[in-house]
Structure 1
Amino acid sequence: MADTAHRPGLDAQGFIAREGSLARVPDVFRPVVAAARDRILDAFGERLHSAYLYGSIPRGTARVGRSDLDLLIALREEPAEGDRDAVRALGEAVDEEFTQIDGVGTLLYGRERLLSEAERYDLGWFVACLCTPLLGEDLAGRLPRYRPGSLLARETNGDLARWLPRWRERIEGAPDTEEARRPLVRFMSRHLVRTGFTLVMPRWQGWTSDLREMAEAFAVYYPERAAQLRTAAHRGYEPVGDPDVLRSYVDDLGPWLAEEYARVHGTKAPRPDQGPPPASPA
C-alpha cells in the first residue's frame, strides 16, 4: 500500500484543506471573475447570500480558451425558475464577452439547503472545501471540518448507479457528430475519475482535484482498472467525441464502478426532493 504519511490536500490535523483562493486566480482571468461578480450582484441584489468560485480558475490551473468559469450562488431563499433563467443569462453573457473561458457553469441553491443535515457531507462539504468565497458571508463558517472518510465518499459520489440511465439517454439523444459528443466525453470522463478517486479516498487518506493524480491514487488499489481510469483522466482534459468511448463508460466502466462503490461504501442517502440527479460538483 502507498505511504499515507504526507498525503496532499490535508492540513496538519488530517482535515481536508480548503483549495483555491482569489490570490491564485491568474491575471488573465481576473477581468472574467470581476465581470461575473458584478453581474451576480446586479441579478440578485439583496436576495444574494453569497457567491463562490470553484474549479481550475481559483486553483490557478486554468488554461486560456480551454477552461470554463465555475460558480456557485447561494440565495437567502430557495431559487425560483426565474432565478435559474437569470443564471443562464448571466453565464451566456460572460461567456460571450470573454474569449479566455470556454463556457460558464453555475450551481444555484438556497442557503438552507446548503447548510442542511441532508447535504452536510455533499453540498456542505463542497462549499467548505472546494469553493472560494467571492461575495457575501462564507457559509464554511457554519459547517464542520471534513476528513476523507467513507461517509464523505458515500455522500459525494455514491449515486453513480442513478446517473447511468440518464447518461444513456443523453448519449442516444445527442446529434451524431464528433462536436456534439465531445462535451459528453469530457463530463462523463471527469465524473468517472472523481468517482474512482473517492472510492479509494478513505484508504489513500488525502485529497486532490487533479484528474491525473486521482487516477494514480485509484491505480494503487485497482491495478486491473488503472489503464481505463488513466485514459478517462486524459479525456477529461482532452476529450474526443468518440461514440465507442461513451458506450464503454455506460456499458463497462460505469456499471463496474457503481457496483464496487456500493459494495465498499454503500449508496448515497436519498434527498427529500430527489428527482433526476443534479449536476454533481465533486
Structure 2
Amino acid sequence: MQTQVSTQSPIHRSIPQPSYVPVIEDLIACLKSGLKESLHSVYVYGSVANGTAIPNVSNLDVVLVTHAPFSASQKSLFNSINWRFQKDFPFVKGLAIRTALVSEVASLSALFTWGFLLKQCCTNVYGEDLSECFGDYVPSWEIAKQWNMDIEQSAAMLRKEVALAEDAPSQVDAQRRLAKKLLRAAYGLVLHKTKRWLDDPLESGQVFLEYYPQREQTVERLGILLGRRVIPKRSVVGLVDDFAPWLVKEYQKTEFKIG
C-alpha cells in the first residue's frame, strides 16, 4: 500500500507544521519521477517529523529505501533535488538523505540499526512502512551502543569540520552537529537505566546529568554550541578533546559490565 502526504492523513500526526507539507510532497514527486519502480518507501525524521523545525535553521532529514542500488544517473538526482529546494523552499536549511535497500532494512541484522531508526524516529510518508516489520522496542544498552560506539570516529570527524570551517554559518552548523552528537551519545550511556526515548539533545543532556553530575559544565557548554553564535574554535576543539575520550572510556566500561 502506498501512502501520499496529506494534511488529512493520519501519517501527518507527527508533522504538524503545515509549511513543510509542500516540501515533502515535492520531494516525493521528484523521487518517484527519478527512481520510478525502484522507489520503495520514504521516511522523515528529526525536527520536521517532530514538529520542532525552525525555518532557515533546520534540515529536512529523510530516509530513502529502494529496491535496487542507485545507478550513476540516479545519483545525480540528489543534486537536482537540492538545487530545486534551494530555489523553491529556501527556508529549508538543507536536505539530508540516508539511503538503504529493502533487503538491508528488512533483515534480522538491522534490528538495532535501521529497525530502531524507522520504528522510533521516523514517520513514513510514502510507500510500504517497513517499521511494521519490527516489534516494540525496549530501550536497551544494545541499541545505545549500536548508535554510539563510533563516537571516537564521529567526534573526530565533526571536530575537523569545526576546525576547517571557512565562514561563520559553516562553523555554526558544524558546532550544532557536534553538540547534538555528543549530547545524544552521553544520553546513550544511561538509556538502559532511564528506559525512555529522548530526541531533544538538551533534554538528553539534563537526564544524563542525573547520573553524571560531575559533567555539568560540559553539558552547559554543549548547550551553548547548540545556539547560533560562533564560538572560538580553540574552545570547541578543547571541549571535544576532553569529552570525547571520556565518552569512549565510559562506553568501554559499560560494555564490559553489561556485555
**TM-score normalised over the length of structure 2:** 0.86
2:195 pairs with 1:205: yes
Structure 2: distance between partners of 1:77 and 1:38:
19
**TM-score normalised over the length of structure 1:** 0.79
2:29 pairs with 1:33: no
* 1:4-19 matched pairs, under 5 angstroms: none
Q: Unpaired segments of 5 or more residues in structure 2?
A: 1-9
Match of 1:46 among 37, 53, 56: 37
* 1:180-191 matched pairs, under 5 angstroms: 180-191=170-181
- Please say if residues 158 and 177 of structure 2, whose CA atoms lie closer than 8 Å, have aligned partners that are also in contact: no
Aligned residue number for residue 138 of structure 2: 147
Aligned length: 246
- Please say if residues 67 and 101 of structure 1, whose CA atoms lie closer than 8 Å, have aligned partners that are also in contact: yes
Aligned residue number for residue 253 of structure 1: 243
- Please say if residues 153 and 265 of structure 1, whose CA atoms lie closer than 8 Å, have aligned partners that are also in contact: no
Q: Aligned-pair distance for 1:41?
A: 1.2
Aligned residue number for residue 211 of structure 2: 221
- SS of 1:36's equivalent in the other structure is helix
Q: Cα deviations across residues 22-69 of structure 1 (Å, max 9, x unaligned)?
A: 233311222212211211211211100100111111211111222111
**Greater RCO, 1 or 2 (C-alpha within 8 Å, sep 6+):** 1
Q: Unpaired segments of 5 or more residues in structure 1?
A: 1-19, 267-282
Structure 1: distance between partners of 2:113 and 2:80:
27
Structure 1: distance between partners of 2:31 and 2:229:
30
Aligned residue number for residue 134 of structure 1: 125
- Please say if residues 72 and 107 of structure 1, whose CA atoms lie closer than 8 Å, have aligned partners that are also in contact: yes
Q: Cα deviations across residues 54-99 of structure 1 (Å, max 9, x unaligned)?
A: 1111211111222111111000123345444322331332233113
Give the residue type in structure 1 aligned to 2:91: Q
Q: Aligned-pair distance for 1:172?
A: 4.6
Q: Aligned-pair distance for 1:171?
A: 4.2
- Aligned-CA RMSD value: 2.2
Runs of 4+ in structure 1 displaced over 4 angstroms?
A: none
Structure 1: distance between partners of 2:152 and 2:240:
10
How many percent identity over aligned positions? Answer: 22
Q: Cα deviations across residues 205-259 of structure 1 (Å, max 9, x unaligned)?
A: 2111111111111110111112312331342353535302431243111111122
